[in-house]
Chains A and B, each alone.
Chain A
Amino acid sequence: MVNGINLALQFLDSFAFIVLAAAGLAIIFGIMGVINLAHGEFILVGAYATTLSATKLGLPLAAAMLVGTLVTAAFGVVVERFVISGAVPNWIGQRTVGRDFVEPLYDRLADSMVATFGLSLIMVQGARVVFGNSIDTVGTPFGNIAYGAFSYSTYRIVLSGVSIALLVGVYYIFTRTEYGMTARATIQDEETARALGVDTERIYMATFAIGSGLAGLTGALFAPTLSMQPTLGDQFLVEAFVAVVVGGPSVVLGTALSGGVLGAIQAVFTNLYGTFFGRIALLAAAMVALRFLPDGITGFIETVQSRRQEGE
């Protein structure tokens, strides 16, 4: 029953889903040490903003997606200022009682989890109160391609192309731009970076905006293929976390590799044994990977590289 094209398309589909689900989370986690449990709700913002600008404002889909991405990035900046860095409450604190109210959530993994979990409760229920239990959806563009007895949605194939382009784009940002350089310097050694004149606070803000924007883009891209309700972010969370951790410390390469490995495993098992086993295999693979590569795939690669250098 294994059909090569089916398997390939299934792999591309899983790969795109995992990479897109994980990208924003990976950047925020990798650079800021913040676990964003509201990641799914940032995707929700992107999906809703896209859908509403297409259905209510009548924008063409591509423009609506751009709006969705930008709205989420802007929302990310607001969250960063108010919650993650605490800049706004602290500004108020300095003006009123002369001291800071809050400590930034950078590198406080558990605290950032509780804070963003609270945020996600607010956002899901807020979306429900404002927009109701669902909103109308936009149709999926591009039709389908047919091969033999089978056919596949063209748009889902386009998504895998987009996910590769996105990885390349993020890689470019982090290796070729000034922001990327300073951001990586900040991960390596925040104190030194600051001593050398890097405005680390701005780096964090920009990072959170980029991470949020990527989550928004994910929501925008999947909006035409999903049904729109306030809990839609949940379906991305598991894949996102698994991919980030299996990927390891190197954000872009890690996401790409874990998307590739986990996507392949899920595609093969889904294709052979059905959706249930595909899902269990994905989760089991993640546990085994972490057991034997405790620092993720890229951590493992780094270890091998440094060992080889020592050997020479």
Chain B
Amino acid sequence: MNRSSVSRRQFLGASGAAVVAGLAGCSGGQGQSGATTDTASSADVVKIGVLEDQSGNFALVGAPKHKASMLAIEEINANGGIDGKQIETYATDPQSDNQRYQELTREMINENDVDVLWAGYSSATREAIRPTIDRNEQLYFYTTQYEGGVCDKYTFAVGPTARQQLGIVLPYLREEFGPKIYTIAADYNFGQLSADWVKVLADENDAEVVGEEFIPLSESSFGSVINNIQDADPDFVMSMLVGANHTAFYKQKASAGLDVPIGTSTAMAQGYEHRRLDPPAMANIYAGVNYMEEVPTESNTGDGGFVDRYYEKYPDAPYLNEEAETNYFSTYMYKKAVEQAGTLEQPEVIEALESGIELGTERAPEAPEGETIKLDGATHHVDHHMWVMKADDQHNVEAVKNEQIPEQFLSETVGCNLPENPETTQYTPVDYFEEAE
């Protein structure tokens, strides 16, 4: 905890009216200035901070995350809270703005004194706030599917990694269609690292990357990309395009008549392109995901399952996406860890999480993606139940393959072991695999 803020609060409680009254208007930013010493009150409630985008560039994919967190919190509170304590929620819209994220993260930690924080959609946001998180030793859940490799004592990156997502869809497409792969990816960290993983997995699965192209995030014309794919004539394409502009690719490849199968870790499960775009834009696309609304498990689509509960609370919500499920189950993981630790003290809760929390062993409702979801204590990642979801030319989605895939990169290749060796590093495949060069 940040000492300066605690002392300021103590001082506020003691001194009452401020001397510099002229500046009172400027100090409204703390919001919580009425709060007195926190030791007494924080024992009665669990303070959860949720920073998910509801406006700006990431609103489309961030809004379901926010909603799913609220659903989990509401359910937990209705069932007696965490260890008998009700959850108090601090949720502000960061507007997809990293500067706002940084300020709100400080506010969550220093002013609101949250016990745990969920924040951020993009990797860039995570990296922008991670220095603040680590400095304040704040327990933090990052829930987006991402490139992988974050080995951080205070961060629990519980979304699936590139290796898990590509690791289910690439071998499937290799079996079905052949060995020649063409990679297209967004030209930034996530895309470049994912493309490296395609090379690693291609090597492991006896396939070959015949071409790759990186596309700036601001680009929305894909004529030459489509030509380049046709020129290379691959058996299938791996697409790690990201964001609103890149969505246009799927429309444009359909109208250009490019009908090669496409594997992806980014389309459909997050931005529900199969619902938003006119068919057949997403025809013949295979997504490697841990969750989509259409994942056919009993706890998901069954009567009174996750999907039912979500739309009961949010009847107008457009979609229930991959990250929403991750926010949802990780809230339950946190609950379980607190109850195991018997305290809200963050070092103890982290220790409890590191003991290997597992959800869904009794077919509980908290694990919509599969039978069980297991947190790997050494790496702070999750052994996910992964699915290959295929869209047909009417944009109906069906599951064609599923299996449990553990996080492998940090645990097996890097040897990240956070209980033994607390660090705050992000590792990349280039340092460990020749093929990724």
Assess the B60–A151 pair: CB atoms within 8 A: no
> Does A200 make an interface contact (CB < 8 A)?
no
B interface footprint on A3-27 (CB within 8 Å = 1, 0 otherwise): 1001001100110010000000000
From A139, A144, A267, A275, contact of B256 by CB (8 A): A144
By beta carbon, the residue of chain A nearest B218 is A235
Assess the B278–A139 pair: CB atoms within 8 A: yes
> Does B254 make an interface contact (CB < 8 A)?
yes
- 17 more contacts with CB within 8 A, not counting A6-B227, A238-B218, are A3-B231, A133-B59, A133-B318, A134-B318, A137-B251, A140-B252, A144-B256, A146-B257, A149-B231, A152-B226, A156-B256, A225-B248, A227-B276, A267-B224, A275-B224, A276-B187, A279-B218
> Does B223 make an interface contact (CB < 8 A)?
yes
> Does B189 make an interface contact (CB < 8 A)?
no
Assess the B55–A128 pair: CB atoms within 8 A: yes
Q: Which of B43-64 contact A (CB under 8 A)?
A: 55-57, 59-60, 63
> Does A232 make an interface contact (CB < 8 A)?
yes
> Does B6 make an interface contact (CB < 8 A)?
no
Assess the A136–B213 pair: CB atoms within 8 A: no
CA distance A137 to B247 in the complex (A): 11
> Does B220 make an interface contact (CB < 8 A)?
yes
Q: Given the complex, which residues of A lie within 8 Å of B226, measured CB to CB? A: 151-152
Assess the A151–B256 pair: CB atoms within 8 A: yes
Q: Given A10-B223, A128-B59, A133-B63, check contact A149 B230 (CB 8 Å).
A: yes
Q: Given the complex, which residues of B lie within 8 Å of A279, measured CB to CB? A: 216, 218-219
Binding site for B on A (CB under 8 A): 1, 3, 6, 9-10, 13-14, 17, 125, 128, 132-140, 142-144, 146, 149-156, 224-229, 231-232, 234-235, 238, 267, 270-271, 274-276, 278-279
> Does B361 make an interface contact (CB < 8 A)?
no
26 residue pairs A–B, Cβ–Cβ below 8 Å = A1-B231, A3-B227, A6-B224, A10-B224, A14-B221, A128-B55, A133-B60, A136-B275, A136-B278, A139-B251, A143-B257, A144-B255, A151-B230, A151-B256, A152-B223, A153-B257, A156-B223, A225-B251, A226-B247, A226-B248, A227-B277, A234-B218, A238-B218, A274-B214, A275-B215, A276-B215
Q: Given A134-B60, A140-B255, A144-B257, check contact A275 B223 (CB 8 Å).
A: no
Q: Given A128-B59, A271-B224, check contact A151 B278 (CB 8 Å).
A: no
CB B305 to nearest CB in A, in angstroms, measures 24
A interface footprint on B220-242 (CB within 8 Å = 1, 0 otherwise): 11011111101101000000000
Assess the B252–A134 pair: CB atoms within 8 A: no
Assess the B55–A275 pair: CB atoms within 8 A: no
CB B314 to nearest CB in A, in angstroms, measures 12
A interface footprint on B275-287 (CB within 8 Å = 1, 0 otherwise): 1111101000000
CB B254 to nearest CB in A, in angstroms, measures 7
A/B pair count, beta carbons within 8 Å: 129
Q: Given A128-B59, A227-B248, A275-B213, check contact A151 B231 (CB 8 Å).
A: no
Assess the A155–B214 pair: CB atoms within 8 A: no
CB B221 to nearest CB in A, in angstroms, measures 6
Binding site for A on B (CB under 8 A): 55-57, 59-60, 63, 187, 213-216, 218-221, 223-228, 230-231, 233, 244-245, 247-248, 251-252, 254-258, 273, 275-279, 281, 318
By beta carbon, the residue of chain A nearest B244 is A229
CB B240 to nearest CB in A, in angstroms, measures 14
Assess the A140–B251 pair: CB atoms within 8 A: yes
CA distance A271 to B218 in the complex (A): 18
Q: Given the complex, which residues of B lie within 8 Å of A234, measured CB to CB? A: 218
From A137, A139, A142, A155, contact of B276 by CB (8 A): A137
CB B226 to nearest CB in A, in angstroms, measures 8
Assess the B231–A274 pair: CB atoms within 8 A: no
Q: Given the complex, which residues of B lie within 8 Å of A137, measured CB to CB? A: 251, 276-278
CA distance A267 to B227 in the complex (A): 13
CA distance A69 to B428 in the complex (A): 49
By beta carbon, the residue of chain B nearest A146 is B257
